[in-house]
Amino acid sequence: MPVSEAAGPGEWGAEIARVLFDEAAIRQRVQELAAAITADYLPCWQQDPRWRLSLVSVLRGAVFFVADLARALRVPAAIDFMAVSAYGDTGRVRILKDLEDDIQDRDVLVVEDIIDTGLTLGYLLSQLRARKPRSLAVATLIDRAGMRLVHDLPVRYTGFEIGNTFVVGYGLDFRERYRNLPFIGVLREEVMDEAPERPRLAHPSEEEFARLLDFYRIRWEYEPRTFVLLEDEAGQVKVGFSPDFYLPDFDLYVELTTKKPHLMNRKLRQVEALRQQYPGVQIELLDRADFEILARKLQARERP
């Protein structure tokens, strides 16, 4: 289904460069995945008439996929949702909304929209595994396997594999837009290149620091990079750390902290580990009381 090149205002063609998977292709693939899942789990139901598959879906991108997939299954299924933050200042995914149901001894199938680095899913699975499900597997609509940092994920069902293009539609967003497109497509470059939105900051102290930097006209980026601090023998990322701010004019990372001892200690350890493993990287750990001092110091400093 081509999106018209000559699209006018109010038509998707003005923003979407091309359609990768149209409605019919998605419907077809979802049916195939559902058939494979049904075949794999049918014996569980045949052994126990009270059995059901526990679908765990990740908000918000996977909602369309799980809704269509669940309706195409021919085994009983419960649906539950989780919401997680991106791997932020703690180097770990934070659970923003947890499951309603207990998954102990259940057969759990995590339903994802897209797996990119796999960091999000990796953390999510470690959380779920700790709750002792009987089995744990993953179905993802899209897999961008070329970007994977975490490799041993139990991805048993994959809808489509794609390369390194950013895609939108059928649940996937760019800045909370395009989720409701019935197809999966690639955005026009002009749309992707638009001025970056001011990022949503996680804590009031980050807002305060950002306002201060703005006031002193110091350019900043929010959590632009994740440093790998710990890998296991297989080269899997175990701990990542994304400093809160990067000040490009000073080539300086800044991590904010509070006086709370447990937070302070963890952040100190992370900053120390980063300094040791990335000797070329400059990072400062900043207490709230130091915000203004640093901002004024930087403003006075010659930009290299």
The correct pick among 23, 80, 116, 290 for binding ligand IMP (CB under 6 A) is 116
- 159 lines the binding site for ligand IMP (CB under 6 A): no
- 124 lines the binding site for ligand IMP (CB under 6 A): no
Peptide bond into 177 cis (omega under 30): no
- 166 lines the binding site for ligand IMP (CB under 6 A): yes
- 238 lines the binding site for ligand IMP (CB under 6 A): no
- 153 lines the binding site for ligand IMP (CB under 6 A): no
Identify which range of 153-161, 167-175, 243-251, 292-300 contacts ligand IMP by CB under 6 A.
Answer: 167-175
Q: Cβ neighbours of residue 104 under 8 Å, at least 6 residues apart?
A: 131, 132, 133
Report the helix count and the strand count for the chain, using DSSP H and E: 7, 15
Mask 21-60, x = binds ligand IMP (CB under 6 A)?
----------------------------------------
Of the residues 22, 40, 116, 173, only one is catalytic, namely 116
Output the six-digit token pair for 288. 């709230």
The correct pick among 114, 124, 141, 181 for binding ligand IMP (CB under 6 A) is 114
Q: For residue 18, what is the enclosing H or E element?
A: strand 16-21
Q: For residue 68, what is the enclosing H or E element?
A: helix 63-72
The rounded distance, in Å, linking the Cα atoms of 67 and 241 is 34
Task: Please tell me whether residue 290 adopts helix, strand or coil conformation.
Answer: helix
The correct pick among 137, 155, 172, 181 for binding ligand IMP (CB under 6 A) is 172
- 115 lines the binding site for ligand IMP (CB under 6 A): yes
Active site residue 173: no
The rounded distance, in Å, linking the Cα atoms of 87 and 36 is 32
Output the six-digit token pair for 146. 């070329």
- Closer residue to ligand IMP (CB): 79 or 264: 79
Strands (E), 85-127: 95-97, 107-115
- Closer residue to ligand IMP (CB): 23 or 116: 116
- What are the catalytic residues? 116
Contacts to ligand IMP by CB under 6 A: 61, 113-121, 166-168, 172-173
